[in-house]
Amino acid sequence: MHHHIIENKFPLTVVLQTSLVDMYAKCGALDEALGVFHGALVLVEDW
């Protein structure tokens, strides 16, 4: 899903990033969840 979002250049809103973190965490993919989380922090700092 995440690859599809990036490949199709969907805007990575805070809501979308939060959903991705939640999805990865529920699937047990904590490294991926952490990666999306750190990317979200960059957006918040830039904002």
Q: How many domains is the chain partitioned into structurally?
A: 1
The answer to whether position 1 is within a domain reads no
Location of structure tokens 């979308």: 16
Domain that holds residue 39: 13-46
State phi, psi for 9 to the nearest 5 degrees: 55, 40
Structure tokens given for 19: 């959903």
pLDDT digits (tens, 9 = 90+) for 2-47: 677 778 777 878 888 889 999 999 999 999 999 988 887 665 555 4
Angle between helices 30-46 and 14-26 (to 10 degrees): 160
> What is residue 14's predicted lDDT score, i.e. its pLDDT?
83
Question: Structure tokens of 46?
Answer: 């830039």
35 within a domain of the structure (yes/no): yes
DSSP 47: -
